[in-house]
Copies of this chain bind each other. A is one copy, B any other.
């Protein structure tokens, strides 16, 4: 079928040992021998059998990536970043996406055991820390967007609380005094962090200890519903901070359609900076998250973990989102 290293050795008239050494760039090989072997390999279209290799070397040069069903832009950015890191580290990516519960996640993870050197996992919800997920099995693991409590694994996450604080500061700075928040789905790590930051900032900056937080689930529809609720009972709200952009978009369009002037009467802000944010009218103020960077850094961290066999340095990194001001939060009273 396909050429093996024996074929190459025979073709080059050397032993398999020499062939192996030559092909793997070991030092103890004559230049001429190496040349002969390389030429033979070339001629035979030799490709090492990865399985055999991983059998002897006890390592696969592959890392498993387990992701939930993500929003489009988010997903591709993340993969792009991870792939960038993998390319640099000479690692392959075994990908599995899943929808739904932790059982599925566990299944995805299990099916990867024994074929990867490490795991890059992103959990959809946080509170139930990686359960009997089966991770611990001495497989280097980096968890993306985990909650604060998961000290057992190396983790890397968006600074959601910090981002929310930045946004509140901006809204206050631009003249708003009564800010409502639109929350995210139950147990979602990002939503939780953003909510915490919001509460914190509103208390600190506006002295309000119990701001209005409307329910939401990250969908555009829930944003529309929240807008309807606000329309029914304004309560003096002059700004809405949604836990993600899609809800902000739903809220903004519904508000506008009902005749509420945005941002003059009510400012609207989101989180993520999805592509659509630039296109709604008025354009949406939001916190931009560099997802690709998160992926790259997650992979670099994992590669480090794998290299440092055993030295469990359960680090915990953070990605800082960046404020992007657009028309939906233009200052209440033009200054200057």
Contacts and interface: CB of A to CB of B under 8 A. Distances in A.
Interface of A: 1-2, 45, 47-55, 58, 60, 62, 65, 69-77, 79-80, 83, 92-97, 110-115, 137-138, 249, 275-276, 279-281
A249 B83 contact: no
Copies in the complex: 2
30 contacts: A2-B138, A48-B114, A50-B51, A50-B60, A50-B115, A51-B53, A51-B54, A51-B55, A51-B60, A52-B55, A55-B55, A62-B94, A69-B80, A70-B76, A71-B76, A72-B73, A75-B76, A76-B76, A83-B95, A83-B96, A92-B94, A92-B111, A93-B94, A94-B95, A95-B95, A275-B275, A276-B276, A276-B279, A279-B279, A279-B280
Contacts of A71: 76
A72 B76 contact: yes
Nearest to A69: B80
Given A115-B51, A249-B279, A80 B97 contact: yes
Given A48-B114, A70-B76, 20 more contacts: A45-B137, A50-B114, A51-B51, A51-B54, A65-B95, A71-B76, A72-B73, A72-B275, A79-B79, A83-B95, A92-B94, A92-B111, A92-B112, A92-B115, A93-B94, A93-B96, A94-B94, A275-B276, A279-B280, A281-B281
Contacts of A112: 92
A54 to B, nearest CB: 4
Contacts of A137: 2, 45
A93 B98 CA distance: 13
Contacts of A83: 95-97
Contacts of A48: 114
Across the A-B interface, give the 3 residue pairs with the lowest CB-CB distance, nearest first.
A51-B54, A75-B76, A72-B73
B45 A55 contact: no
A144 to B, nearest CB: 16
B47 A114 contact: yes
Nearest to A112: B92
Contact of A114 (B49, B94, B280): B49
Nearest to A52: B55
A83 B70 CA distance: 13
A73 B2 CA distance: 38
